Amino acid sequence: MPNQGIGESFAGVATAATRAVELYTLEEKRLFDDRLSLKLLPPAWQAFFRFMYLPVLRHLLLALRERRMPGTLGAILCRTRYLDDVLRSSLDQGLEQLVILGAGFDTRAYRIAGVDRIQVFELDLPGSVRLKRTRLERVLGAVPEHVTLAGIDFDRQVLGDVLETAGFRKGRKTLFLWEGVTQYLTEGAVVETLQFVSAVGGAVAFTYVPQGIIDGSTRPDWFEALMSFARRAGSPFIFGLDPLRLESYLADLGLALIEDIGAVEYRQRYLVPLGRELNVFDAERVALAEAQKTPVA
């Protein structure tokens, strides 16, 4: 996760801006409808998005992004849809609490039907939380009552302590969403977080970068530019997982793997039915897992 300075707010804002791009797709072709992301963007970003209404310029800007970072737009859009689906399914199954780790400008607590009936905890670095609160108050008037914003540094604070202070209740059906974060953390921070999910009997959907990308053995040439930018922003990629060992890795932490998907599954599940041709890179996957045993209250 970004540590300070530009990284502390840029990653969340940039991801929100990527989601906002989907608003310029025909409604019947959209993977999701996230109008709030655009509204939450800081003024300078919103000013930039005025150019997106011009089809020719929009095409050029997106083509430039695709040349520099091929498949990243498609990956973020598809993972957003997948995590939306996970949340909706959990709500249908009686979800009582949602914890969004490294929330950034995530808008699920405000746009997914039924989420206002449960308690939502959004955790991120303090600077990111302050920026999110400011934007929510400006756009919505106030942070909704069902949402609690809390600052955390995963490498330096204990997740359970932060959540307990925020009002988290053990024993309630809980889903943790952890999007675009694990690659920036130490393995210790990742393990501690997943163990907490297991201990409280929760489920978790999290993105991860394959270990081959981190160690360079399966890293595409263009990806080095993205990793270089991350280092300059104070948020280097330092953690990855081997997809072939993911099930056993999670089992050792008390979690049962339900699903592990990436570009191939995204295309089959979302893009083909919509008739969309969208490049999706293979440098990130998303796993869904749940606690193996009933937690001790």
Rg (CA), the chain: 18
Instruction: Collapse the DSSP code of 120 into the 3-class scheme (helix H, G, I; strand E, B; otherwise coil) and give the result.
Output: strand
Residue at 296 is within a domain: no
Mind listing the pLDDT tens digit for each residue in 239-292? 999 999 999 999 999 999 999 999 999 999 999 999 999 999 999 999 999 999
Residue at 141 is within a domain: yes
Residue at 170 is within a domain: yes
CB 115 within 8 A of CB 192: no
pLDDT at residue 9 tops 70: no
Residue at 72 is within a domain: yes
CB 260 within 8 A of CB 243: yes
As for how many domains the chain has, the answer is 1
Share of the chain above pLDDT 90, in %: 80
Q: Which residue has the tokens 């914003």?
A: 149
Q: Which residue has the tokens 């889903």?
A: 175
What integer pLDDT is reported at residue 2 of this predicted model?
Answer: 35
Q: Which residue segment(s) compose the domain that 258 sits in?
A: 6-291
DSSP 25: S
pTM of the model: 0.93
Residue at 265 is within a domain: yes
Mean of pLDDT values over 7-32: 87
Mind listing the pLDDT tens digit for each residue in 59-97? 999 999 999 999 999 999 999 999 999 999 999 999 999
- Residue 16 is which amino acid? A
181: its two tokens: 């974060």
Share of the chain above pLDDT 70, in %: 95
Least confident range of 30-34, 41-45, 75-79, 253-257: 41-45
Pairing, β 174-178 against β 203-208 = parallel
Rounded Cα gap, residues 259 and 218, in angstroms: 22
| CATH code of residue 16 | 3.40.50.150
Residue at 1 is within a domain: no
